[in-house]
Amino acid sequence: MPDIPTVTLPSGISVPALGLGTWKMGESPNDANAEIESLRRGLDLGMTLIDTAEMYGEGASEELTGKAIDGRRDEVFLVSKVYPWNASRPGVIEACEASLERLQTDRLDLYLLHWRGEHPLEETVAGFEALRRDGKIGAWGVSNFDTADMEELMAVPDGRNCATNQVLYNLSRRGIEYDLLPWCQEHEIPVMAYSPIEQGRILRNAELIRIAKAYQATPAQVALAFLLERDKVIAIPKSSTASRVEENAVAVDLDISDEDWEALDAAFPPPERKQPLEML
Ligand code: NDP
């Protein structure tokens, strides 16, 4: 079984650096069994962080996730997200309760603001803190926040309790390396890298394929190894196929040479100036 590395959250809790995404899951009844099997396979392999959101399939992903973790809740570090338009102080509490109901659980380990919206950050944070005091969430964080958003968050009451920032980050989307990633690392706020294999689009890159072959690995494994190499980064690939989840888990064993990291830098150049945060 692969030895999945961990990342420590500000609370001191360790979570796997390789977790499981769930976007698009739960949307088709015909796929449900395979999706549940793939999530459970991930748990068996130690990829015990599961990321979902009220947005995904308008609750269908949370329902599917609830079925997948039935009887295994204590193994899982469960992450969900609130829509920005639900992120008023009372709205956050109501949305969280609806997520808990769909997930068939009494608590989330981490609850994220999906992206910034119309509600003032202090209100959202006050709602998150109330949920935390009530034991309905273990911690809270944000998603799709750029550096300036993080600075603003730090200035609101309790804003420094933010436990993560989930953003688009993969070989072909390296903009955050210029400022947001170092900022988060300095503030000890882990970055959760979403779409870590660019939803499959980077897997056809010739250089990635060449390097993967040299290690008898797959392009997806190299793309994940790139993220696992970084400090305070958690990758959450999604796959509805158990064999691909197994393939992704083995990425933790890849040991890429300096020369090949340089070749990957040439194929996917790091940023030389500030780039606005990209979103999918
Ligand atoms: P990913 O980069 O994880 O790619 C998922 C796609 O890649 C699926 O089509 C999957 O197909 C395929 N795939 C997975 N593993 C392999 C493999 N080893 N070989 C070939 N293909 C593979 O994209 P996502 O956008 O799903 O991102 C991951 C998670 O991040 C989401 O599921 C969600 O939880 C979160 N997210 C958060 C966002 C936010 O705004 N906070 C935005 C986007 C995503 P298949 O399932 O058929 O195997």
With respect to residue 38, please indicate whether it lies within any of the assigned structural domains.
Answer: yes
Asked if residue 220 has its Cβ within 6 Å of ligand 1, the reply is yes
CA of 133 to the centre of ligand 1 (A): 33
With respect to residue 280, please indicate whether it lies within any of the assigned structural domains.
Answer: no
Q: Tell me the pTM.
A: 0.98
Q: Using CA atoms, how far apart are residues 5 and 24, in angstroms rounded to an integer?
A: 26
Q: Does 194 participate in catalysis according to the annotation?
A: no
Residue 64: domain span = 6-267
From the alpha carbon of 244, which atom of ligand 1 is closest? Answer: 18
- % residues pLDDT > 70 (the chain): 100
With respect to residue 68, please indicate whether it lies within any of the assigned structural domains.
Answer: yes
Residues 157-209: pLDDT tens digits? 999 999 999 999 999 999 999 999 999 999 999 999 999 999 999 999 999 99
Residues 132-164: pLDDT tens digits? 999 999 999 999 999 999 999 999 999 999 999
With respect to residue 31, please indicate whether it lies within any of the assigned structural domains.
Answer: yes
Q: What is the mean pLDDT of residues 12-35?
A: 98
Could you tell me if 107 and 101 are in contact, meaning their C-beta atoms sit under 8 angstroms apart? no
Give the residue whose CA is nearest to atom 15 of ligand 1. 239
Q: What is the CATH number of the domain that holds 36?
A: 3.20.20.100
Element (H, E) at 68: helix 60-68
Q: Using CA atoms, how far apart are residues 113 and 182, in angstroms rounded to an integer?
A: 21
pLDDT for res 2: 87
Q: How many helices (H) and strands (E) does the chain have?
A: 10, 10
Asked if residue 280 has its Cβ within 6 Å of ligand 1, the reply is yes
How many structural domains are present in the chain? 1
With respect to residue 279, please indicate whether it lies within any of the assigned structural domains.
Answer: no
Asked if residue 278 has its Cβ within 6 Å of ligand 1, the reply is no
| Pick from 223, 218, 215, 227: nearest CA to 255 | 215
Burial class (CB in 10 A: 0-12, 13-18, 19+), 178: middle
With respect to residue 274, please indicate whether it lies within any of the assigned structural domains.
Answer: no
| Pick from 211, 193, 219: nearest CA to 277 | 193
Asked if residue 99 has its Cβ within 6 Å of ligand 1, the reply is no
Q: How many CB atoms lie within 10 A of CB 259?
A: 9
With respect to residue 272, please indicate whether it lies within any of the assigned structural domains.
Answer: no
Could you tell me if 22 and 76 are in contact, meaning their C-beta atoms sit under 8 angstroms apart? no
With respect to residue 49, please indicate whether it lies within any of the assigned structural domains.
Answer: yes
Residues 89-104: pLDDT tens digits? 999 999 999 999 999 9
The owner of tokens 């969430």 is: 137
| Pick from 57, 11, 63, 21: nearest CA to 197 | 21
